[in-house]
Amino acid sequence: MRDAYQASIAKLHDDPSTALAELVAIAQAAPAFWPARFRVVDALVTLGESDAAAALLRALGDGYAKIGQPVPAILACKLLEAMGRDSDAINSEIAMIYAGLFGQELVPAATPIDPPPGPTPAPVSDALNAAQALGNVGDALPEKYPAVPLLSRLTPEDFIVVLRAMKLHVVGHASTIVKQGAQGSSCFLVLDGTLVASRTTDHGERALGRLTPGTIFGEMALVSQRPRNASITSVGGSIVLELNKATMLAHSKAMKEAMYAFSRRRLLENITLTSPLLRTLDRKTRQSVVGLFGAFAFRPGQALVTEGEKGQGLFVVLRGSVSVMKKRDGAEVELATLKEGDLFGEISLLRDTPTTASVRGADEGEVLFLDRSDFQGLIAAFPHMQTELASLSEERLRSSELILENIEDDEALALI
């Protein structure tokens, strides 16, 4: 069925009648594969059946919203807007159901990326009438509705405003949406298709993973000035929603607060997955660790860590930047500038020694903070982390010795 699905899509422009009959049959044979229903909408539009396409989109938006699938519901809403049709009723329904949810903020990835395997169904003879029936997506209500990344932190009123402001993009195969190293001013929500994240280093390009419907990416561009740290490319056709930073700030103060909260949580989750101290923990424990971090703002010149004093905890730069300073020959030397996502304060916690460098705010920003007692309690609760600690301490000590001989920005992190 996979090959048949792609073959039917290829016929949309040259033979839309056949494409419609085949796509309706595929949607009937694989009811859980909702992308096929939206390709039916494309066929109806190509055939000039815009009213039928709009009616199907309204039914899909209403149905998917009610059964706990917000991604296709939002897609139906935005496609109606792109057609110049009224989407207010669906927009409001989605907001009433999904606004104010503070759950895990991850839409379940229940929808398959590709059509399911199986025999190729025969084309439907009365495709126009059969297409309308595809608006019935079921009536089984979920026990708990999933949250939509970012949007579910808003009130229904702000949810509607921001959703309307988000721009729909239909992206072609191999198109780059985000380019590594570029300055960003938008974040994106994947509605349909598959995207690939990759990063280029001195050793070449490395794939980081796939992004499927319900995934948000690029959010750090809305809370920082840091260049993109990876590229995002479409595999096949895809549809994404874009939220621009200027639009976000103009439309909703609550959205700005939600963005910072979401970015803070995402950053901490990434740290727990990559940190040698925390990556061995199970998912539930990692999530509880995220809740231990607090946050506070800092001003330019404000001391966060003072050389020679007892380390207070682990810091993570959420936005802005900080300067690492070291006393040498009676004067202070700047060793490094740390930006969003960088950690400091680890070495004094790991070795239980005074800090060996100072850290001050380089501009206005915000840091996340894990208190020393919470850090030590975490280590005590998981004895197997002692091995990781010993290894990390040894590595940090070697780095410190190198820095003292030849200070370089990247190596200066180990001084703290």
pLDDT tens, position by position, 214-228 = 888 888 776 666 788
44 in a structural domain: yes
pLDDT at 276: 59
pLDDT at 106: 46
- H/E element, 241: strand 231-244
With 70 as the cut, is the pLDDT of residue 312 above it? yes
The rounded distance, in Å, linking the Cα atoms of 323 and 361 is: 6
Q: Are 326 and 332 in contact (CB under 8 A)?
A: yes
**Tokens describing residue 130:** 């059969």
Same domain, 235 and 107: no
Same domain, 391 and 367: yes
Taking the CA atoms of residue 297, residue 301, residue 303 and residue 308 in that order, the dihedral angle to the nearest 10 degrees is: 160
pLDDT band at 45 (very low <50, low <70, confident <90, very high): very high
pLDDT at 109: 42
Q: Are 64 and 76 in contact (CB under 8 A)?
A: yes
Q: Which residue has the higher pLDDT, 236 or 57?
A: 57
pLDDT at 407: 45
The rounded distance, in Å, linking the Cα atoms of 219 and 253 is: 16
pLDDT at 135: 94
CATH of the domain at 372: 2.60.120.10
362 in a structural domain: yes
Same domain, 81 and 225: no
Q: Which residue has the higher pLDDT, 82 or 365?
A: 82
Beta bridge partners of 176: 233
The total number of structural domains in the chain stands at 3
pLDDT band at 48 (very low <50, low <70, confident <90, very high): very high
Tell me what the pLDDT averaged over the chain comes to: 83
pLDDT band at 133 (very low <50, low <70, confident <90, very high): very high
Same domain, 299 and 368: yes
Q: Which residue has the higher pLDDT, 83 or 340?
A: 83
208 in a structural domain: yes
Length of the chain measured in residues: 416
103 in a structural domain: yes
With 80 as the cut, is the pLDDT of residue 249 above it? no
Beta bridge partners of 57: none
Q: Pick from 116, 143, 164: which residue ends a domain?
A: 164
With 70 as the cut, is the pLDDT of residue 67 above it? yes
pLDDT at 78: 96
Structural domain of residue 224, as residue ranges?
Answer: 168-251
Beta bridge partners of 328: 331
401 in a structural domain: yes
276 in a structural domain: no
pLDDT at 246: 79
The rounded distance, in Å, linking the Cα atoms of 281 and 272 is: 8
Same domain, 192 and 157: no
**Tokens describing residue 373:** 């007692």
pLDDT band at 412 (very low <50, low <70, confident <90, very high): very low
This model's pTM is above 0.75: no
Same domain, 19 and 149: yes
Q: Which residue has the higher pLDDT, 378 or 181?
A: 181
With 90 as the cut, is the pLDDT of residue 46 above it? yes
Q: What is the pLDDT of residues 141-187, one digit of tens each?
A: 888 888 888 788 888 988 898 899 899 999 999 999 999 999 888 98
The rounded distance, in Å, linking the Cα atoms of 29 and 10 is: 19
Most confident stretch, 90-99, 243-252, 310-319: 90-99
**Tokens describing residue 416:** 């703290």
273 in a structural domain: no
The CA R_g of the chain, rounded to the nearest whole Å, is 25
pLDDT at 208: 84
Beta bridge partners of 205: 200
pLDDT band at 105 (very low <50, low <70, confident <90, very high): very low
222 in a structural domain: yes
Closest to 415 measured CA to CA, from 406, 401, 405: 401
Instruction: Tell the residue number behind the tokens 């019935």, with chain if given.
Output: 136
The rounded distance, in Å, linking the Cα atoms of 342 and 335 is: 14
